[in-house]
Structure 1
Amino acid sequence: MRSHFLLAGLAVGLIFSATHAATLGTLTLPPDASVGPVTVFYPTAAAGHAEPRGDLIVSLAPEAPPAPGNGRLIAISHGSGGGPWVHTALAQALVDAGFTVVLPLHRGDNWTDTSQRGPESWQQRPAEVSHAIDRVAADPRFAALRLDRVGAFGMSAGGHTALSLAGGAWSPERFRAHCARHLAEDFQACVGLATQLTGGLLDGPKLWLAQRVLDWKFGGDAAPRTHGDARIAAVVAGVPLAADFDPATLARPRVPLALITARLDRWLLPRFHSDAVLAACTGCELLADLPSGGHGALLAPAPAAAELGRLECEMLCDPPGYDRPAMTSLWLARTVAFFRRQLLAAP
């Protein structure tokens, strides 16, 4: 498995450095009372310096003056326990197309702090995206951006954020009820990475305890959670956590909504999450259905197997046979094309 990742990473790195020549301007806005640090990637005419980011080599120009680009902004919401740099390839592809990209570090659910992961984080994440857009709007370096039509991309828990930004409504009680019905089948979505079912004698006690905790923490709170931001004009949800959404609220999203799915996702099984959204939403677009992709397929740079725990790697490492270079190029190109079509064609 480790050699597979090294070879795949080398191939992606070679493709990335050969086809993505634009320098990434980058800066970090400090945290404030409403949001953690906000990372911004943007076009720049400044010369960059080559820097490895996981299995990618990027040309970075920290604090360089922004170039005009196409005048549009894309906000990215990272997954649970994630951060801005796991979306480097997507940020690079968007910047190559002229977009500016903003990524808030979600409080209590990022690579340095997971104390609020789950519904507590899901509730605050959309507002953190909106505030990150506000932070960019208030920065004179980005005064040329037109923020009446902003794109949003989210992966995993960030995909949950994306569905909220598209007009979806969810509740902690819907999450609890889903897990009550499908706990054994969708165990990792319901309990995270604390443990897993093994087929052994302890599975029964694990299921009993997990359901008691879910009932205690989330039972009865059926108030729908929604978030509105009129600036968001197009949304992409990648392998989203979605089983707690009211399907009726996603039947006709308030903005164009597209999805990316991964058939071998073992953390968020498609039939309960992304496929359920596609079944409810007749007008949603399926940008890419990765037939042999796992939950970590949209993380680029790829997660390094040696740096993950065993269960983390089972959930995030690429399944055997996954063609990461080809599939990454595919979903990146279709995502960029979607945002160009939805955000640049409008006046």
Structure 2
Amino acid sequence: MVSGRFRRLLALAVLGTAAGLASAATGLTVLPAPPDSGPVTVFYPTSTVAASKLQRGPFSIDATLNAAPLRGNGHLVVMSHGSGGSPWPQADLAQTLVNAGFTVAMPEHAGDNWHDMRDVGPATWKHRPKEVSQAIDAMAADARFAPLLDFQHVGVYGMSAGGLTALTLAGARWSPAGLSKHCDAHLTEDFPTCVGLLTELNGGPFDPLKRTIATWIIHFKFADDTAMQGWDEPRIKAAVASVPMAAPVDMASLAQPRIPLGLVRAGKDGWLAPPWHVDAVRAACKGCTLVADMPDGGHGSILSPQPPDLPARAAKLLNDPPGFDRGALPGVYAAITAFFVKNLAP
């Protein structure tokens, strides 16, 4: 669902920056890793057009490395990737934002990225909002970007575990014990949320044993960790949570988010089943905006370019379900961009 109103807003945003971006292309640079975090990849407007595509692993990116930046619209959006993620499967959304004048910073989350997954789960969920703050600090300290950006009106976008980051920065409070309680109540229906890629229920004779072991592990690791997690970052003024991890959230904390909060929904999400994640947020947050609804989309359908050659279990959860039309993604990205255009004006 992408409204005509959002498309009009995006068109106005593009027209509003047309004078400064008439010949703009996309620049790409990487800032050094802040303490206890990973490097920060930055997509930004530039006047230098790439002579050829940049190759990053299996991904080809239309961007010019270390080109001189342009101001664009003067706003920064920080993007928080999902578990095991990297900047590259979110490059097409980043470039849509750049085309509208935004600068986009993507921190690599320590212990939960494409080459290091030792802290996947609540350990990294606690740390991610701080890494967003550190990414803003890193951009403000960089001589190339500091004069060009308004660091008091920053947006945050997050997908999956990054969606929980976005919810947290919008005011959500959550606890590992909340995840344990959720898995007690909905282990079978939301099994991938509770166990990730470790195993799956397949209707076989070992399913009861899998459920028993999963429950024991979850209780051992999380049931006693009742401390509510949050993070206050006053520079963040708008957030979009895409297919967010939301089961651990105290939904009362989202009844009145502290900033405009947009949501992206995938109706056939097999990893974070909508009833206990994005739909639960929508039910609690009457003021939230459903920025885009992909009724036939899966958990990874928001990603473009798609990660290739995934392991079988990850592919089952991240690849597009039958019937999903990737031709809808430009409209989804336009709606996300329009949400930030509307809500980051001082």
TM value normalised by structure 1: 0.90
How far apart are residue 30 of structure 1 and its match? 1.6
How far apart are residue 54 of structure 1 and its match? 8.5
Q: Is the 8 A contact 1:109 1:117 kept in 2?
A: yes
CA 1:53–1:93 in structure 2 vs 1: closer, same or farther (change >3 Å)? farther
Determine if the alignment matches structure 1 residue 331 to structure 2 residue 332.
yes
How far apart are residue 209 of structure 1 and its match? 0.3
| Equivalence for 1:216 | 220
Tell me, in whole angstroms, the C-alpha distance in 2 between the residues paired with 1:94 and 1:178: 35
How far apart are residue 34 of structure 1 and its match? 3.1
Tell me, in whole angstroms, the C-alpha distance in 1 between the residues paired with 2:124 and 2:45: 31
Q: Which runs of 4+ in 1 moved over 6 A?
A: 53-56
Q: Is the 8 A contact 1:50 1:57 kept in 2?
A: no
Amino acid in structure 1 at the alignment position of 2:43: F
Determine if the alignment matches structure 1 residue 155 to structure 2 residue 159.
yes
Tell me, in whole angstroms, the C-alpha distance in 2 between the residues paired with 1:56 and 1:209: 38
Q: Which of residues 174, 179, 183 is equivalent to 1:179?
A: 183
> Which deviations, in whole Å up to 9, do the C-alpha atoms of 1:121-179 show, x marking residues without a partner?
10000000110110000001012211110000000000010000100000010010000
| Equivalence for 1:18 | none
Q: Is the 8 A contact 2:26 2:49 kept in 1?
A: no
Q: Is the 8 A contact 2:59 2:88 kept in 1?
A: no
Tell me, in whole angstroms, the C-alpha distance in 1 between the residues paired with 2:178 and 2:237: 27
Q: Is the 8 A contact 1:22 1:59 kept in 2?
A: no
| Equivalence for 1:13 | none
Q: Is the 8 A contact 1:154 1:160 kept in 2?
A: yes
Q: Classify the secondary structure of the residue corresponding to 2:63.
A: strand
Determine if the alignment matches structure 1 residue 274 to structure 2 residue 278.
yes
Tell me, in whole angstroms, the C-alpha distance in 2 between the residues paired with 1:34 and 1:43: 28
How far apart are residue 195 of structure 1 and its match? 0.6
Q: Which of residues 125, 135, 138 is equivalent to 1:135?
A: 138
| Equivalence for 2:51 | 49
| Equivalence for 1:84 | 87
How far apart are residue 53 of structure 1 and its match? 6.5
Question: 1:185-334, aligned counterparts within 5 Å?
Answer: 185-304=189-308, 307-325=309-327, 327-334=328-335
CA 1:335–1:55 in structure 2 vs 1: closer, same or farther (change >3 Å)? farther
> Which deviations, in whole Å up to 9, do the C-alpha atoms of 1:302-331 show, x marking residues without a partner?
132xx1111111100001111012x20121
User: Can you give the 5+ residue segments of structure 1 that lack an aligned partner in the other structure?
Assistant: 1-20
Q: Which of residues 16, 27, 30 is equivalent to 1:28?
A: 30
> Which deviations, in whole Å up to 9, do the C-alpha atoms of 1:185-224 show, x marking residues without a partner?
1000000001100000010110000000000000111111
CA 1:217–1:92 in structure 2 vs 1: closer, same or farther (change >3 Å)? same
Amino acid in structure 1 at the alignment position of 2:84: G
User: Can you give the 5+ residue segments of structure 2 that lack an aligned partner in the other structure?
Assistant: 1-22
Q: Classify the secondary structure of the residue corresponding to 1:151.
A: strand
> Which deviations, in whole Å up to 9, do the C-alpha atoms of 1:209-260 show, x marking residues without a partner?
0000000000111111000000000000000000110011000000000100
After superposition, the CA RMSD in angstroms is 1.4
| Equivalence for 1:120 | 123
| Equivalence for 1:71 | 74
Amino acid in structure 2 at the alignment position of 1:111: W
Tell me, in whole angstroms, the C-alpha distance in 2 between the residues paired with 1:58 and 1:204: 45
Tell me, in whole angstroms, the C-alpha distance in 1 between the residues paired with 2:310 and 2:60: 21
Q: Is the 8 A contact 2:24 2:48 kept in 1?
A: no
Q: Is the 8 A contact 1:35 1:132 kept in 2?
A: no
> Which deviations, in whole Å up to 9, do the C-alpha atoms of 1:28-77 show, x marking residues without a partner?
11223232111111000112133167897543111111111111000000
Amino acid in structure 2 at the alignment position of 1:279: A
- What percent of counterpart residues are identical? 49
Tell me, in whole angstroms, the C-alpha distance in 1 between the residues paired with 2:335 and 2:72: 19
Tell me, in whole angstroms, the C-alpha distance in 2 between the residues paired with 1:330 and 1:293: 14
How far apart are residue 23 of structure 1 and its match? 2.1
Instruction: Report the count of equivalent residues.
Output: 322
Q: Classify the secondary structure of the residue corresponding to 1:248.
A: helix
Tell me, in whole angstroms, the C-alpha distance in 2 between the residues paired with 1:100 and 1:224: 32
| Equivalence for 1:12 | none
Q: Classify the secondary structure of the residue corresponding to 2:276.
A: coil
CA 1:22–1:247 in structure 2 vs 1: closer, same or farther (change >3 Å)? same
| Equivalence for 2:5 | none
Q: Is the 8 A contact 1:55 1:302 kept in 2?
A: no
TM value normalised by structure 2: 0.91
> Which deviations, in whole Å up to 9, do the C-alpha atoms of 1:248-276 show, x marking residues without a partner?
10000000001000000000000000000
